[in-house]
Structure 1
Amino acid sequence: MKRVLKWLCCFTFVIALSTAGVTASQAASKVMWGKLEYKSGMIGKVTVMKDTVRYEKNTKGKLVSVGKMKKGEEWGVYALKPQHYELTRKTYAVKSGSLKYEALTKSKIDQIKADSRVITSGLKPSTKYEYQFSYPGYGLYTSKFIGRENGYDLWDSYDSETGNRETWCYFESKSEFVYGIYQSNLLYWMKMPVYLNESWSNHSGISNELISYRVTSLSKTVTTKAGTFRNAIEVKDSFGNYSYYYPGIGLIKSIGYQNKRMVVYEELYKMTKVR
């Protein structure tokens, strides 16, 4: 039990107190790049660093002012001209220090698309695998699926060296994902489906303290002893702890910071396919 208390301060009673952010349908309908909606044909974007003029071409091909671009706005760029950026709606901006240009690379497109996903399932461990997790300072635990009870998938988690043993439970539906130590208050709750910037708050199952959570990325590359996982889900809590999940596998890593140094609480060490 001691191995989990170090990071289980983020575990909660299974009661959601509040949620915020866009709806899942909105998240699925737009692919966002910062403040800007990504659209086909876009090669980059400009961020307005200082108010500047936006132009259109008249019938003679001459640029004429049609309005202002305000500081902080982001505009898609569809073509680069020697002296201008061709913007959304066939408007133009003069290249200057008032605009900061960022090219849209393939890796950036992949990141944008990953962060625009809506994850509807696959956060609980797959029964196709046997897992080993490393808990620094507490040992290496093997986790095996042992059946279902009261709607939960049950996993036997044990340390062969010390004999320590716990039963963990996992439940996943269209509206929630719950896991933790079976028949206890140490249950972690996540709102489903998962999308970028989704947030919720719950009371801690240990101290009854209100803890806030936010999905801060769907495109993280996370390295563990079991391998490197691309486009992992990152969830940050109000204590500054981070948990990482990979669809189809489940939790792969949990970290925090102590005296500005990263501390690994839990890490996927090995996966073995069950025959």
Structure 2
Amino acid sequence: MAFPLQTTVTAATTEMFVQAKTDIFLRAKPNQNADKMGTIQNHSKVTVLSSSDGWSYVQAGKSKGYVYTSALSKENPKAASTTVTGGLTPKEGLILTYEPSFLENKKETFYVEKEDEYTYLYNKKSPLYPHLSNFTYIETKKGLLMGVSSSDFIFVNVPYPLKQGTYTTDSSLMFEDQKVLVESTTKSITVKAGTFKNVVILRFPDGSREYFAKGIGIIKSTNKNGKIFTELVSVKEG
């Protein structure tokens, strides 16, 4: 007697990494109210067994359960340094266009010039040009500052190093310091100008955020609700 051949179909699995603000919950079912089976450490590796409707069934160690698919990434966050000690200012010769711009809800294009620890952004259509830049970055081994040129109006003033997941002190306010969370140094962030890797995200006490890309500077600023009030829309070589 002949027996039919038995075939075994193995579901394709994928190695992914947790990329969230904190550790995430492993749940018994694909539901936000389902029982919690434990936690998975942020930036750790999991095996994705299947995904559907915004949830992924994963194996983490010996445990299996469900997590939000949006909390997973194919990029290994540990491949990038979680500590940043410099390089967050724009490179010499870049042409950066923002819309909205830093202070006005309009499109502005800036030309980047550098002099020692100073990086200047010039809007050639500004009445200040060429005698005075519009915005200035100052970066030393001690820290990073960015604000309006020749003024006390400062957007960011933080010391180095910036370590992912820790708090630092921002001194941009005139009369008081504020604790700022270094929310990430490893995430990829997409804006209209493109996708940038290993973006430094600073979250301020009021919930607003500043996003810095290496060699570019600020690529996005948002308020506590995530609304964009500064966005980089174009990067060109001068």
Quick check: 1:268 aligned with 2:232? Answer: yes
Mind listing any 5+ residue stretches in structure 2 that lack a counterpart?
1-17, 29-36, 48-58
Secondary structure of the residue that 1:113 maps to in structure 2? Answer: helix
Alignment of 1:1-275 (within 5 A): 108=73, 110-114=75-79, 116-135=81-100, 138-148=105-115, 151-157=117-123, 160=125, 166-187=133-154, 188-205=156-173, 208-257=175-224, 260=225, 262-274=226-238
Distance 2:153 2:106 in 1: 20
Alpha-carbon distance, 1:264 to partner: 0.9
Detail structure 1 runs of 4+ shifted over 6 Å in the superposition: 32-36, 46-49, 71-79
User: Rg larger in 1 or in 2?
Assistant: 1
**1:29 aligned residue:** none
Per the normalisation by structure 1, the TM-score is 0.55
Q: Counterpart amino acid of 1:268?
A: L
Q: Counterpart amino acid of 1:120?
A: T
Alpha-carbon distance, 1:163 to partner: 5.5
C-alpha contact (below 8 Å) 2:96/2:232 kept by paired residues: yes
Distance 1:142 1:252 in 2: 13
More helix by proportion, 1 or 2? 1
C-alpha contact (below 8 Å) 1:115/1:219 kept by paired residues: yes
Secondary structure of the residue that 2:163 maps to in structure 1? Answer: coil
Q: Counterpart amino acid of 2:231?
A: E
C-alpha contact (below 8 Å) 1:226/1:271 kept by paired residues: yes
Q: Counterpart amino acid of 1:139?
A: K
Would the alpha carbon gap of residues 110 and 77 (structure 1) be closer, same or farther in structure 2, given more than 3 Å must change? closer
C-alpha contact (below 8 Å) 1:115/1:196 kept by paired residues: no
Would the alpha carbon gap of residues 132 and 164 (structure 1) be closer, same or farther in structure 2, given more than 3 Å must change? farther
Alpha-carbon distance, 1:175 to partner: 2.2
Alpha-carbon distance, 1:220 to partner: 2.6
RMSD: 4.0
C-alpha contact (below 8 Å) 2:159/2:169 kept by paired residues: no
C-alpha contact (below 8 Å) 2:158/2:171 kept by paired residues: no
1:153-208 alpha-carbon deviations (Å, 9 max, x no partner): 222135x4x858752222222221112112222232122122202322345435x3
C-alpha contact (below 8 Å) 2:98/2:107 kept by paired residues: yes
Q: Percent identity?
A: 21
Alpha-carbon distance, 1:235 to partner: 1.0
Q: How many positions carry a matched residue from both structures?
A: 192
Distance 1:222 1:78 in 2: 22
1:60-102 alpha-carbon deviations (Å, 9 max, x no partner): xxxxxxxxxxx968799999xxxxx997xxxxx7x6xxx8588
Secondary structure of the residue that 1:135 maps to in structure 2? Answer: coil
Secondary structure of the residue that 1:174 maps to in structure 2? Answer: coil
Would the alpha carbon gap of residues 186 and 86 (structure 1) be closer, same or farther in structure 2, given more than 3 Å must change? closer
Secondary structure of the residue that 1:139 maps to in structure 2? Answer: coil
